[in-house]
Amino acid sequence: MAGEMGYTDVRNPGNEPSPAEKCPAPAPCPWWHRVLLTARALGHLVLLVLVVLRNVSGLSRARNQTERCIFPSLVWYFCQPQGQSPPAPAGCKLCPQDWQLRGERCYWLSKESGNWTRGRKSCEDQGSELVVLKNETEMENVESVTGRRPWSVWVGLRSRQKEWTWVDNTPYNPHRFGVLRELDEGCGTLKGKSLDVDVCASDHKWVCQKAPFQLSPPTAGDIGKLDDAST
């Protein structure tokens, strides 16, 4: 009809199919392809884990090697014979700082004074105990630590119901150190080479004891390695 306007589809002239309509939808990946991708990802993960473990193992071996080198050096430094001394001198027994090695024990003399209970706690806080005397030699060792000064120091001896006992629960031997006064409650002191008793609330310094750290003497192989390293 005249006067009627015609309309043309400018978006798709000639009603041709669009590019999207021309390209068919992609076919789904085969199942075996997905399996290969998953296996590849797992392979990378396993490889990463192996690399990390190898690095950790290498660091561990390096640390162990360093420890094997340092420890013989420390042993040689502290345990090397001095002059005509035997191959395993007392230097192989190490005490903490400010402690003194006497025989088979490390001893420490307090700087402050206090009652017997305070002295015992001070020793326990340092992983030690108030001195327990087994023989005259140990008494002489303590005397050398106190400097043979004319004062009394607390030792690990206490009386309960007139029975004297050391802090390690061993009974006091009067045949070795002499008979002590009978006290219902009392604590032991050492003055020079004489044991005495006092009221536990009195003020005295105290002496603690502990076992030293024992280093083994160097072997011939260790000495050879150290000599080779120094040349």
pLDDT of residue 89 exceeding 90, the answer is no
Whether residue 221 is contained in a domain is answered as yes
Confidence (pTM): 0.59
CATH number of 105's domain: 3.10.100.10
Containing domain of residue 73, as a range?
A: 27-94+216-231
Total number of domains in the chain: 2
pLDDT of residue 102 exceeding 80, the answer is yes
Percent of the chain having pLDDT more than 70? 57
Q: Are 77 and 90 members of one domain?
A: yes
Q: Are 88 and 109 members of one domain?
A: no
Q: Are 226 and 193 members of one domain?
A: no
Whether residue 21 is contained in a domain is answered as no
Q: Are 79 and 118 members of one domain?
A: no
Residue 15 per-residue DSSP state: G
* C-alpha closest to that of 149 among 102, 190, 93: 190
pLDDT of residue 203 exceeding 70, the answer is yes
Q: Are 124 and 111 members of one domain?
A: yes
Q: Are 90 and 100 members of one domain?
A: no
Q: Which amino acid is at 158?
A: R
Measure CA of the first residue to CA of the last residue in the chain; give whole Å: 117
* C-alpha closest to that of 190 among 145, 127, 220: 145
Alpha helices, H only, the chain: 19-22, 31-79, 116-125, 136-146, 174-177, 220-230
Quick: pLDDT tens for 126-167: 999 999 999 999 999 999 998 867 789 999 999 988 889 999
